[in-house]
Chain A
Amino acid sequence: MTSFDEGGETVVGNREQVASLCNFVPPYVQRVVAQHAEGDDAAERRLNDNARKRRTAALKECAATEDEPAVSRAALPTTGTSRREVYDSGNTDQQRVKLIRAEGGPETDDTDALNAYDNAGIVRKFYSEVLDRVSIDDRGMDLILNVHYGAKFNNAFWDGDEMTFGDGDGVIFSGFARSLDVVAHELAHGVTQFTSALVYSKESGALNEHYSDVFGTTITQWSDGSSPAHSDWLIGDEIMGPDLYGEALRSMAHPGTAYDNPIMGKDPQPAHYDNRYKGTADNGGVHINSGIPNRAFYLAAMEMGDTVEAARIWYHALHFLPVDATFVQAAAQIATSARILVKSGAATKGAAQIVRDAWRTVGVITP
């Protein structure tokens, strides 16, 4: 049995009863609907803080009733004030070596630190303004970023509570922190950790990677103000070094075509479920098979003509995915989320069909 406050009344029920209440309209959807119906100011007045909090709490309660509850999400404590802190690792393998840029503090002349700080600010603003999410964990977690990590370190990663960026070797890859889609990608791993805790292996791991690419590209397009038709849908193109200029790490539009050169070989991403990788490397191909859902997202966003709208649907679904979600489960949940948001007026009519068609095209939903 579980209970939560809804509309001033405490609701108590079993899993089925609670689940039946999960088709509510989340706060960011409420705001979109209200903004469509009336002016922005009026909409904000209607959505007072108490109502928003009640609905956010209900959303979390609903997510916790899934078959595989995300233990980490429920167990993590509330956190800070969403402040940004950028540390210089000084090319060591240590984090938080020297604080060089803090929220509202003095500027630094370190370009990578400046870019990391600014990019994290854009990402934070997107989650706040578009998805009504307060930082990574929706509880105001501070954003800790480490730059200049390691020596010629060709990577960026999320380690469970902060982001770390290498400088790259300057030949194949260059500074990872300078790219908005890299920063948004890593920060999204935190969002996924605190929302659905998708296990970083095989299909659930590929979905984890997929969600990071979804938010990486969506936030980049949102920040640029570009439409899906006029976006390149490339991931990692900004960090390719001089010898690989013009290529990228992944293409969401055409997985498997991002690169083909003597240094890196050929992009291994499949675009269709029939061609999925079944080996053990890369945690069961989490960066390889992410190409399949990536293309589904691209197809949906293109058909809708609105990447942010597609991302809202995907984000809604993220709250309800089990930790070991398969592609089939994700496709079903995302289609359900599309239907819910269409019903509430937050997504365009036909979105659910578009989503199903997209997953059908990549072979996850069979005709």
Chain B
Amino acid sequence: MTGDAGEALISLEISGGYTGQITRLELRRDGAARVQVGGRTLTGRVDPEQVDGLLGDLESVPAEPLPAEPAAAEPVTARQGPSGAAPKSPATAPGSMGAADLRSYQVHFGGRTLTADDASVPRDLSEPLRRLEELVRAVQLDAARGRDQKP
């Protein structure tokens, strides 16, 4: 693992989506967390073991991660209706060139950068992203409720 207590070990940027928000998270090894959103900087603290765990999980994501989910053998189109429809991921959608309001994600750690959007979150990245978003939300809510734990 890389990084010391003074620099961000993991950073995340989420932008776009219906809400259009641009949110940045920086996590340090000592658990210090900083969220930048809407021109404001919010600070908080998380369990350093969480940060280590996240880093380990991110480092295990292969350089060429697996696609989002196994796609239906034959993409189901809107014309086919429910008969024979199989679950599919947004990434398999025909005509996806017109996609809009997908959130994009950029995760930086250990000299690597992983990118994804709502339609193409690799399976190995899905769970770490969910946990990172939880941390963002926790810092936001702590700040809103006057529980800022600025280090």
Residues of A within 8 A of B (CB): 72, 76, 79-80, 83, 85, 92-97, 99, 102, 141-144, 151-152, 154-162, 164, 169, 171-173, 176, 182, 185-186, 189-190, 192-194, 197, 200, 208-209, 212, 236, 243, 249-250, 259, 261-268, 281-283, 286-288, 290
Q: Is the CB of A172 within 8 A of B140?
A: yes
A208 to B38: give the CA distance in the assembly, Å. 22
Q: Is the CB of B137 within 8 A of A172?
A: yes
Q: How far is the CB of B144 from chain A (nearest CB, A)?
A: 4
Chain B CB within 10 A, most for which of A192, A263, A287: A263
A-B contact count (CB 8 A): 181
- Does chain A have a CB within 8 A of B103? yes
Contact with A along B113-138 (1 / 0, CB 8 A): 00000110100001000100100010
Q: Is the CB of A249 within 8 A of B19?
A: yes
A208 to B102: give the CA distance in the assembly, Å. 13
27 CB-based A-B contacts, threshold 8 Å: A79-B79, A93-B89, A93-B126, A94-B69, A142-B79, A142-B81, A154-B133, A155-B19, A156-B17, A159-B90, A160-B96, A161-B95, A176-B18, A189-B100, A192-B98, A193-B95, A193-B98, A200-B98, A208-B100, A212-B100, A236-B19, A243-B144, A262-B140, A263-B140, A266-B38, A268-B38, A283-B104
Q: Is the CB of A265 within 8 A of B144?
A: no
CB interface residues, B 34-65, toward A, < 8 Å: 37-40, 42
List of 4 A-B pairs having minimum Cβ-Cβ separation, nearest first: A265-B38, A287-B20, A193-B98, A160-B96
Q: How far is the CB of A63 from chain B (nearest CB, A)?
A: 16
Known contacts A157-B118, A169-B137, A265-B39, then 20 further A-B pairs from the complex at CB < 8 Å, ordered by chain A residue: A94-B88, A95-B90, A96-B85, A97-B87, A99-B85, A102-B81, A142-B81, A154-B133, A157-B100, A159-B90, A159-B96, A161-B77, A161-B95, A172-B137, A182-B18, A236-B19, A249-B20, A261-B144, A268-B38, A282-B16
Q: How many residues of B contact A (CB 8 A)?
A: 51
Q: How far is the CB of B88 from chain A (nearest CB, A)?
A: 6
Question: Which of B68, B89, B93, B137 is within 8 Å of A161, CB to CB?
Answer: B93
Q: How far is the CB of B128 from chain A (nearest CB, A)?
A: 13
- Does chain A have a CB within 8 A of B21? yes
Question: Which of A186, A193, A194 is within 8 Å of B18, CB to CB?
Answer: A186
- Does chain A have a CB within 8 A of B30? no
